[in-house]
Amino acid sequence: MATRLSVLNPVGFPPAVRRQPPAPRLDTLEGKTVYLVDCRFDDSDVFLGQMQAWFAERLPGARTVVKRISSVYLNDDPMTWEEIKARGHAAILGVGH
């Protein structure tokens, strides 16, 4: 006796992506605030600490702020993005490894 089996296609249909141009490049980082955003991915805090030390040594006129997002990297954090827009000039997102 044959058994009938139903299956689902796991590929799915991703949503359309709205393209955005990159932000304009700053002429200098001197006197600017650069946010180093910890997305809470494995070891991103270690990586961003090293990056902050690099900035302090090579670009002492740039101010760096390490900012940890409020949840895991899969969840949006609008309050952090608003803070960066209001107080920062640039942001680098760290994802570790």
Q: Give the pLDDT confidence of 7-34 residue by residue, as tens digits.
A: 888 888 888 999 999 889 999 999 999 9
Per DSSP, which regions of 39-83 are E strands? Answer: 63-68
Closest CA to 62 of 37, 81, 36, 93: 36
Average pLDDT value for residue range 55-75? 93
pLDDT tens per residue, range 36-46: 999 988 888 89
Q: Do 38 and 67 form a contact (C-beta atoms < 8 A)?
A: yes
pTM of structure = 0.77
Q: Which domain holds residue 50?
A: 29-73+88-97
In a domain, 40, yes or no: yes
3-state secondary structure (DSSP) of residue 63: strand
Instruction: Specify if 56 maps to a domain.
Output: yes
User: Considering the domain boundaries, does residue 19 fall inside one?
Assistant: no
Tell me if 93 is assigned to some domain. yes
Q: For residue 35, is it within any domain?
A: yes
pLDDT (tens digit per residue) in 68-87: 999 887 889 999 999 999 99
Is 11 domain-assigned?
no
Instruction: Check pLDDT > 70 for residue 1.
Output: no
Q: Kindly state whether residue 7 falls inside one of the protein's structural domains.
A: no
Total structural domains within the chain: 1
Upper half-sphere CA count for residue 62 (Cβ side, 13 Å):
25
In a domain? residue 58: yes
